[in-house]
Amino acid sequence: MAEPLKNLYGQEIPHRVADMISNASPIFDRQRFLDYVLPEYDGLELMPRGWHMADGLKHALPEDYETAIDILLASLPPARPPVAETSATADREGNTLAPFIFMPHTFFVARYGLNHFDASMRAQYELTQRFTAEFSIRPFLQQFPERTLKVLRGWTEDSSEHVRRLVSEGTRPRLPWASRLPAFQKNPEPVLSVLELLKDDPSLYVRRSVANNLNDIGKDNPDHLFETAERWLKNASPDREWIISHALRVAIKNGEPRALRLIGFGSKPQVSLSDINITPDVVTEGDSLAFSVTINSKVPASQSLLIDFVVHYLKANGSSRGKVFKLTRMELDGKQSVTVGKRISLKPMTTRKHYAGEHRLELLINGTAYPLGSFSLVTEDKPQVQAILPEAK
């Protein structure tokens, strides 16, 4: 199991923050910061540690906010290079997540900077080039939406991809680890107006954020997602097509017909299934099973097929929940047959609890479900759950 992130953010981090700032300014009260932060530090999770250190900064920096910001910015190292120039391990120093050292700086801005808009925007512009200001920008979007969006629109043309990414990542209505933006969940048009300026950004780092933002929007406003995707597909470059495909990934996985049509898999498949094999039919938790099936074309014309599979995992109450997994995309020639399959691991997982009993398998072809059969899962020292199967239709 992966080590919790908070363990990579131990008591050495407050000391490093204190050293960094005190080296930049003798006004910073290093000892007062440490005396405030350290006693409660070990009992906190990762994000609360950042907030707690932000409060420590408030205790140790000058009372005047703009003077405090000047000291924090003076303590910063040079900006990070573009992501493409950074190796997978470049952001790690030993066992420490290096950019996270600036998390308390951004949280300080979020908690204490709302009454100092210009100084806070200047701080976030610099901090996002060292860590990210996607968390600290959100209180400003909530309290000063138009004023903040005006700044963000200007940043869409910045030379730094980290700044441009902040425009998209910071406005995500459902950003992970962050408070949601209810106003944008209700009306995403202001967010779409800034994404429009980034849809052809040269950086994949930025484009991926744009796609994730659109995916967020689609969870609350699917029509806005589909209409935007439809509009952006006109004369789209391959890079913009990738944004749209990635933004539609949840809708595609759920078999939404409009999403499937947008990516070219909207036609109802004209196929039949044969030679279905699920082995073994009884599997012990920790082992794996394999399935294979032959897909046969029923028409002379070629068909574009998006093929996924669904495992209907049992829940404790005997009902089941389908989990969709990607399988393949293909062009199936007229009257052609092709065999597809997959091995499925049933090892214990922290994110999914397995229950003994019958589990169903389905194939999804262009969003249409085709039953494959079932297998029985055996778990040690656990009673078998009687599945509640839907009536045949």
pLDDT greater than 60 at residue 391: no
Q: Which of 49-63, 82-96, 242-256 has the lowest mean pLDDT?
A: 82-96
Q: Which of 85-94, 124-133, 230-239 has the lowest mean pLDDT?
A: 85-94
Query: Do 137 and 279 fall within a single domain?
Result: no
107 falls within a domain: yes
Query: Do 47 and 15 fall within a single domain?
Result: yes
For residues 124 and 112, is the Cβ–Cβ distance under 8 A? no
* pLDDT (0 to 100) of residue 352: 85
Last residue of a domain, one of 262, 290, 321: 262
Query: Do 333 and 369 fall within a single domain?
Result: yes
Query: Do 321 and 247 fall within a single domain?
Result: no
Query: Do 275 and 241 fall within a single domain?
Result: no
What is the CA 99 to chain-centroid distance, rounded? Answer: 18
Q: Which domain holds residue 119?
A: 5-262
User: pLDDT tens digits for 117-142?
Assistant: 999 999 999 999 999 999 999 999 99
Instruction: Provide, rounded to the nearest whole percent, the portion of the chain with pLDDT above 70.
Output: 92
Last residue of a domain, one of 212, 232, 262: 262
203 falls within a domain: yes
Q: Measure the CA–CA gap between 89 and 100, rounded to whole angstroms.
A: 14
Last residue of a domain, one of 262, 281, 312: 262
Query: Do 59 and 161 fall within a single domain?
Result: yes
Overall average pLDDT of the 159-182 stretch: 96
Query: Do 84 and 152 fall within a single domain?
Result: yes
Query: Do 93 and 169 fall within a single domain?
Result: yes
User: Could you tell me the CATH number of the domain that includes residue 234?
Assistant: 1.25.40.290
Overall average pLDDT of the 63-69 stretch: 98
Query: Do 345 and 282 fall within a single domain?
Result: yes
Query: Chain-wide mean pLDDT for the chain?
Result: 91
* pLDDT (0 to 100) of residue 381: 54
User: pLDDT tens digits for 269-315?
Assistant: 999 999 999 999 999 999 999 999 999 999 999 999 999 999 999 99
Strand pairing partners for 282?
376
- Indicate the angle between helix axes 222-232 and 204-220, nearest 10 degrees: 140
Q: What is the 3-state secondary structure (H, E, C) of the chain?
A: CCCCHHHHCCCHHHHHHHHHHHHHCCCCCHHHHHHHHHHHHCCCCHHHHHHHHHHHHHHHCCCCHHHHHHHHHHCCCCCCCCHHHCCCCCCEECCEEHHHHHHHHHHHHHHHCCCCHHHHHHHHHHHCCCCCCCCCHHHHHHHCHHHHHHHHHHHCCCCCHHHHHHHHHHCCCCCCCCCCCHHHHHCCHHHHHHHCCCCCCCCHHHHHHHHHHHHHHHHHCHHHHHHHHHHHCCCCCHHHHHHHHHHCHHHHHCCCHHHHHHCCCCCCCCEEEEEEEEECCEEEECEEEEEEEEEEECCCCCEEEEEEEEEEEECCCCCEEEEEEEEEEEEECCCCEEEEEEEEECCCCCCCCCCCEEEEEEEEECCEEEEEEEEEEECCCCCCCCCCCCCCC
Full-model pTM: 0.81
User: Could you tell me the CATH number of the domain that includes residue 310?
Assistant: 2.60.40.10
